[in-house]
Amino acid sequence: MDVKAELPLAFNVPQGWPSPNYNYTNNQLSKAGFELGRKMFYDARLSKDNTISCGSCHQQFSGFAQIDHPVSHGINDLLGNRNSPPLFNLNWHTSFMWDGGINHIENQPIAPIQNPVEMDETMANVVTKLQGDATYRSMFKAAFGDETVNSQRIAKAFAQFMGMIVSSNAKYDKYKRGEAGSAFTQQEMNGYDVYKQNCATCHTEPLFTDFSFRNNGLPPTGVNDSGRAHITLASADLYKFKTPSLRNLKYTWPYMHDGRFNSIDQVLNHYTTGIMQSPTLDNKLSGGITLTDKQKEDLKAFLNTLNDEEFVKNTMFQEVK
Ligand code: HEC
Ligand code: HEC
């Protein structure tokens, strides 16, 4: 099957979803631009010693997170201090990174390329490497009209590939669209109610995050990561992190900004018995969350309806060798 033939050229907003934050008005979406972004995403030559690609830390089978890695592993096996977040539905994001330190999808790729513990390369060297490669030159021409390689075009092609990574085909989505065979079981319905009462304020439908920065009461560890305050320098933002989506949790473990939890059970135990009081703890969580064992099981059944297997297996997002 010709993978290219199935590539769409339009960005489709799933039924019932809000308008995306980034919609390609200043970045004409094309098959060629998407393919260029995909090629770069999987290309280790974007790192200093040609060993690490974006795909090393953002693996499709893991919802484009890095499975089994509490914190990311980059060049020379160096460790970062944060968990690689999954990558999907990025065009709805209002900011990027756990602390929201990057405010535009097109500015995002420069950060890992230049980060000394991630890819440790300069944009100038990336441009030189790609310019020296005839395949890239022809791909830049196909995407942008001529063979010029520059950081702006690199950023735009990345945004075309990453933005197209949409996950909207979980059982939950099919149920919402009324598709055949997607009716919720009684347990999933019960879990949906538990979710609405306890989690929906921050993990809001249909993206399962409102992209707000909150302190959900995680006790500090050895790394004193101040979260949002790292960017705003405001004490009111201490230990607040961008609320992650609850979609695709089956694939994206471990959880939280530092990957401290390996299972949903550990996450739920945190919310019921582990919340640490502090001045910036979110009001919603100041009394903790009370869940019976049955409510926990029901909630887990509902969370399972948010796993989108079609997305993690979608050949469109795979490396083309
Ligand atoms: C060494 C591992 C590593 C590599 C390589 C890497 N990333 Fe990441 N990525 C991370 C980590 C860790 C974060 C979170 C960083 C933070 O919050 O400070 C992140 C965050 C992101 C985000 C923001 C997601 C969100 O929810 O806010 C995007 C988008 C992203 N990376 C894309 C890329 C692209 C594109 C590349 C290649 C140019 C890349 N990454 C290379 C580890 C990596
Ligand atoms: C007050 C807002 C708020 C409420 C309510 C809330 N969360 Fe969270 N949740 C967060 C924030 C913020 C994070 C990220 C914290 C971090 O990493 O430091 C998070 C992280 C998570 C994660 C980790 C996801 C990942 O990709 O790492 C899961 C799972 C989760 N929450 C599930 C739930 C469930 C289930 C409920 C309801 C029982 C709930 N949350 C209630 C704000 C909230």
Residue 67 has pLDDT above 90, yes or no: no
Contacts 24+ apart (CB under 8 A), 252-257: 252/62, 252/63, 252/65, 252/67, 252/86, 253/67, 253/68, 254/68, 254/69, 254/70, 254/83, 255/83, 256/83, 256/218, 257/82, 257/83, 257/98, 257/225, 257/227
Q: How far is the CA of 93 from the centre of ligand 1 (A)?
A: 14
d(CA 64, CA 66): 7
Residue 220 banded pLDDT, cuts 50, 70, 90: confident
> Poorest-confidence range of 167-176, 219-228, 295-304?
219-228
Tokens of 119: 């890819």
Which residue is closest in CA terms to ligand 1's atom 41? 54
Q: Among all ligands shown, which has an atom nearest to the Cα of 253? A: 2
Mean pLDDT on 222-228: 88
Q: What percent of the chain shows pLDDT beyond 90?
A: 89
Atom number, ligand 1, closest to the C-alpha of residue 158: 35
Q: Is the CB of 57 under 6 A from ligand 1?
A: yes
Whole-number pLDDT of residue 79: 83
Q: pLDDT: is 3 or 120 the higher one?
A: 120
Instruction: Give 32 Cα–ligand 2 centroid separation in angstroms.
Output: 37
Atom of ligand 2 nearest to the CA of 227: 18
227 pLDDT higher than 60: yes
Contact indicator for 82, 149 with CB cutoff of 8 Å: no
Residue 69 confidence class, pLDDT cut points 50, 70, 90: confident
Atom 39, ligand 2: residue with shortest CA distance = 199
Q: In 3D, which of 143, 158, 205 has the Cα closest to residue 54? A: 158
Per-residue pLDDT, 74: 84
Residue 2 clears pLDDT 70, i.e. is over it: no
The pLDDT tens digits for 78-110 are 888 899 999 999 999 999 999 999 999 999 999
Q: Report whether residue 172 contacts ligand 2, using a CB cutoff of 6 Å.
A: no
Which ligand is the nearest neighbour of the Cα of 154?
1
| Sign of the dihedral through C-alpha 227, 233, 238, 244 | negative
AA identity, residue 80: G
Q: Whose CA is nearest to atom 19 of ligand 2?
A: 243
72-81, 90-99, 161-170: the lowest-pLDDT one = 72-81
State the pLDDT at residue 71: 85
pLDDT confidence tier of residue 72, bands split at 50, 70 and 90:
confident
Mean pLDDT over 156-178 rounds to 97
Please tell me if the CB atom of residue 143 comes closer than 6 angstroms to any atom of ligand 1.
no
Q: What is the pLDDT of residue 223?
A: 79
Ligand 1 geometric centre to CA of 298 (Å) = 33
Task: Report whether residue 244 contacts ligand 1, using a CB cutoff of 6 Å.
Answer: no
Q: Is the CB of 201 under 6 A from ligand 2?
A: yes
Residue 80: per-residue pLDDT: 84
For 281, phi then psi, to 5°, come to -55, 135
Ligand 1 in reach of 214 Cβ (< 6 A): no
